[in-house]
Amino acid sequence: MSRQSSSATRIVQSLLSKNPHLSSQQIYQNATEHLRPVLQPAHVIDKEGRIRMKRVSNMREGRRPWVPMPAAPYPQHPFKSMNFLKRTILASLEAQGLIHKARVERPIETEEERKEAIATAMRLTRRDERTALRLKEPVPSPRIPKTTVTEYAWKMGSLPPRPETSEGVDIESANEKGKQKEEENDEGFGLEEYEKSDEEEAKELAKRMQKAWEANRGASLDTLNQVSVDSSSNTIDTLQEKEENLIEMDEETKARWDAAVKLEEKFQQSQIIEQQQIEQRQQARRLAFKLEREQKKKERKEDELYGRIDSIKAEKKRIEALEAIENYAKQTGEDVSAWYEELGVKEGEELPINEDKKRKKGGFGLKRE
């Protein structure tokens, strides 16, 4: 990989400088199209080649396969994963004002999108006709299907300021919310009415829409859609060429991109240092756990050698009984001094502590005071 493409910031800058707008998925695909992702293993395999199993806490003697932690599909690539690109790289560049997300209109490309646009126009036309009949108004002309699809994509530069009225109301956001509300109402009302109508009514409406379009435009629906798509694509291509010619960064913008690259380098260095610290802590915990196990084995051998095993077990049972009595006294408030005397604990004497439970609370053999 070249030096320029070793930084995720440089990759995003290069792609957006060559294209007027790109979505997050397009940026990810263009940067990783010639790479092979790392496959995520379904299970963890132990040293003997068998599937590693783990206990299930909510099931008696239950065991299930050990599922590994999710790994990045491209660990050596600056993007690493789609989630890392969206939440870290693009979010950081947007916060620095180097890129922004905008609404983009693109021409219809697939047959499914074309059918959906025609179906939406038919639903809205049926709604307009029924509204006009209910209000006893003239029937409006059929709606023409849309030839573009609205998407959200990334563009170079900071978000442009939105125009505001004298009262401080955002015109663009208000219009956008109004359009979304109108589309939601149209789709919800039209879909229910369309499902209730029968197939003959839909065919009759399609024929009337076809005749209206041919009468108004002098062309069939298919021809009209094809011409609209071609004209829209030509217009968008022209705008893209103009935007490509106009994308020229000044010195201030270049300095901001350079600062973003340095910020990314510092972030990567901090990630490396943090990973090293995590590995060092894990090694220290493993070493402490190993030393503790060796010490316990040594103590157990000495106890077996001098015949102290039975007395140690009896003392453990005594301590467990004292703990149970203490808990019972706390819950009921009864006088349990007679039980303490039976187990050899005098009044005012501190209760012994189970050392094994005290060690387990520390985790990985480390005692936490």
In one letter, which amino acid is 24? Answer: S
In tens, the pLDDT along 77-103 reads 999 999 999 999 999 999 999 999 999
Residue 305 CA neighbour count, 13 Å, CB half:
6
Q: Are 143 and 124 in contact (CB under 8 A)?
A: yes
pLDDT at position 222 over 60: no
pLDDT at position 258 over 60: yes
**Is the pTM for the entire model greater than 0.85?**
no
Closest CA to 248 of 13, 19, 22, 17: 17
pLDDT attached to residue 187: 45
pLDDT at position 61 over 70: no
pLDDT at position 325 over 70: yes
**Backbone CA torsion sign across 306, 310, 316, 318:** negative
Alpha helices in 197-308 (DSSP H): 199-217, 221-246, 251-306
Domain ranges of the chain: 4-37+69-161+168-248, 249-302, 308-369
CA distances 33 to 40, 64, 118, 298, Å, are 19, 36, 34, 58
For the residues of 195-222, what is the DSSP string, one character each? HHS-HHHHHHHHHHHHHHHHHHHSS-HH
Q: Which of 265-279, 299-313, 349-363 is most confident?
A: 265-279
Q: Which of 151-165, 182-196, 250-264, 320-334 has the lowest mean pLDDT?
A: 182-196
Tell me the pLDDT of the chain averaged across its residues: 77
In tens, the pLDDT along 184-199 reads 454 444 444 444 444 5
pLDDT at position 238 over 90: no
